[in-house]
Amino acid sequence: MSFSSEPSPRDHPAANAFVSVAQRYCALLENPVRDRDLWLADVLTTLATIYAAAPMVRELALPTHPAPENIPAAFRLTNDEWTALYTHLKHTLGNDAIYSAQFNPLVPTPHAPSDSLREDETPLGDLADDLADIYRDLKPGLTAWNTQNDALLEDVLFQWVHYGLLHHWGRHAVNAVRALHWLVYK
């Protein structure tokens, strides 16, 4: 599918709303944290807004199959960049980074991501990992969006909504919102 015969997704209010809140989220993670409690509340609100805004982007006639990956590799985070962000977040969150996690709430007993978890152990989540992975999924698309190259938009939107929301960053966001809720409203 090509957007050439239709108005650019850049003009669509849902796409612009998503981009705006995704930029806010990335800025929160990129900038120094001055007041941790205010930062946590801001991250919670921003992340919940991203999660709510993403399905609205589906109003655009997006393909339901993977598009060829057009986002340049140079826009993606390197492992070192991700590790630096993760370390910063881990330091900021301190002892609050680890939380109790239910990987599939529709299954009555907790299931671990690996076979190493004993049946009587509670699976754990890592809020720093959640926040850094969401950033890793959003930032390349924002960088591509900012180039003003409409040829990249189909892949950017597919990655954000069909891949990211449904299969990766959306799951991290749900877990992070739950953990952040407890930190902010303790």
Q: Which of 136, 145, 143 is nearest to 173 (CA)?
A: 136
> What pLDDT shows up at residue 154?
84
Cα(171)–Cα(47) distance, integer angstroms: 12
Share of the chain above pLDDT 70, in %: 80
Task: Residue 57: name the closest of 127, 111, 9, 125 by CA.
Answer: 9
- CATH fold for domain 9-184: Four Helix Bundle (Hemerythrin (Met), subunit A) (1.20.120)
Tens digits of per-residue pLDDT, 134-154? 999 999 999 999 999 888 888
Segment 43-75, tens digit of pLDDT: 999 999 999 999 988 777 666 665 556 788 899
Percent of the chain predicted with pLDDT > 90: 58
pLDDT in tens, 16-46: 999 999 999 999 999 999 999 999 999 999 9
Summary mean pLDDT of the chain: 86
- pLDDT of amino acid 186: 87
CA distance 43 to 138: 15
Q: Which is higher by pLDDT, 150 or 114? A: 150
Distance CA 8, CA 69 (A): 19
146 vs 5 pLDDT, higher one: 146
Give the residue extent of every domain in the chain.
9-184
What per-residue confidence (pLDDT) applies to 8? 79
Using CA atoms, how far apart are residues 140 and 160, in angstroms rounded to an integer? 10
Q: What DSSP string describes 9-77? A: GGG-HHHHHHHHHHHHHHHHHHSPPS-HHHHHHHHHHHHHHHHHHHHHHTTS---SSPPP--S-GGGSP
Q: Which two tokens stand for residue 141?
A: 């698309």
